[in-house]
Amino acid sequence: MTETIKADKVMDLKGLPCPMPVVKVSKGIKEVAVGQVVEAISTDPGSLTDFPAWAKTSGNEILKTEQDGKEIHFFIKRVS
Amino acid sequence: MEALEQQIQEMKARLEGVEKRVPSNKISMIVFSGDLDRALAAFIIATGSVAMGVDAVMFFTFWGTPLLRDKKKQAGGKDLMSTMFGTMLPKGVEQLKLSKMNMAGMGTAMMKSLMKKKNVASLEQMVEMAGQLGVKIYICEMSMDLMGFKREEMIDYPDLTFCGVAKFLEEAMDSRIQLFL
């Protein structure tokens, strides 16, 4: 059993190429409160390296990354 | 004891000096090129930077200057040379060409249709997004003057300033990253 994370906000970023997923998620994370979780769904393979880099630089935390076919689900906790 | 206090004071003064020299979390770019591909890269980096929490500053000079002209705006009272430059140089981002494989415009058209198909934001959209994100744009006054461009024919952009090299250097010195594109 994998633990399920409840997202407070879901962002559909499917079909968007670089730099849109990161640009959109950086805006979207500011719309939830600190400690809340955003689930971002991207189909851009570059996101796999871009999201952790963005999270590290912007000071947010990726709780879990799930791949479901072409879809990549990121569960990101707003830290600051 | 007094010697120790004096040492602490000296250390404090030195630390302040060092802190002043630590650059901000900022990227400064010189956009020298007026090529579609390079301009696109510049705007992708700028918007990406803001997403990363890094302020972005773009300084447009030389061939980069005409891409900030507004295609709908006209400026009168130009001499022959200025008018010539004005017609020969691209008027706005829509008219930019690829630096390679342009093939009399065919390559550029193909790249644009590919971008649309693959959902890559167009340069027009990137400029608009940069404005919304608060990317600062500086335009080199000297390039404007050389090519005979007037302020009233440049795009409406939220944070646009006309300046010289000193302003860019001030920004560059206060940035962690500097790029020349």
Non-local CB neighbours of A38 within 8 Å, separated by 6+ positions: A7, A8, A9, A10, A11, A25, A28, A29, A32, A75, A76, A78
Domain count, chain B: 1
pLDDT of B46 reads: 97
- CATH number reported for the structural domain that contains residue B159 in this entry: 3.40.1260.10
Nearest to B61 by CA among B134, B141, B123: B141
B43 found inside a domain = yes
Among all chains, which residue has been given the structure tokens 């979207």? Answer: A28
CB-based contact A58 B52, cutoff 8 Å: yes
Is residue B132 a contact partner of residue A29, using CB atoms and an 8 Å limit?
Answer: no
Residue B11 domain flag: no
Contacts of A12 in chain B (CB under 8 A): none
The pLDDT score that the predictor gives to residue B76 is 82
- 8 Å CB contact of A26 and B51: yes
> What are the residues of chain B with a beta carbon less than 8 Å away from any beta carbon of chain A?
44, 47-48, 50-54, 118-121, 129, 133
**Averaged pLDDT, groups of 10, chain B, 181 residues long:** 91 90 93 96 96 95 94 86 88 91 92 92 94 95 90 93 88 94 94
> Which pLDDT tens digits describe chain A residue by residue (80 residues)?
467 889 999 999 999 988 899 999 999 999 999 999 999 999 998 899 899 989 988 889 999 999 999 999 999 999 98
| A22–B53 C-beta distance less than 8 A | no
Q: Which residues lie closer than 8 Å to B11 by C-beta, 6 or more apart? A: none
Q: Is residue B104 part of a domain?
A: yes
Q: Which domain holds residue B131?
A: 23-180
All structural domains of chain A: 9-77 (3.30.110.40)
Say if B4 falls within a structural domain.
Answer: no
Q: Is B52 helix (H, G, I), strand (E, B) or coil?
A: coil
Domain-located, residue B172: yes
Contact at CB, B44 and A16, closer than 8 angstroms: no
* Nearest-angstrom CA–CA distance, B141 and B61: 8
Query: Position of tokens 């906790």?
Result: A77
Q: How far apart are CA A63 and CA B59, in angstroms?
A: 38
Q: What is the pLDDT of residue A2?
A: 60
Instruction: Report the alpha-carbon angle B168-B173-B174, nearest 5.
Output: 100
Residues in chain A whose Cβ is within 8 Å of chain B: 15-20, 22-23, 25-27, 53-54, 57-59
pLDDT at residue B170 in the model = 87
Please check whether residue B5 lies inside any domain of the structure: no
* pLDDT tens per residue across span B123-169: 999 999 999 999 999 999 889 989 999 999 999 999 999 988 888 98
Res A23: pLDDT: 92
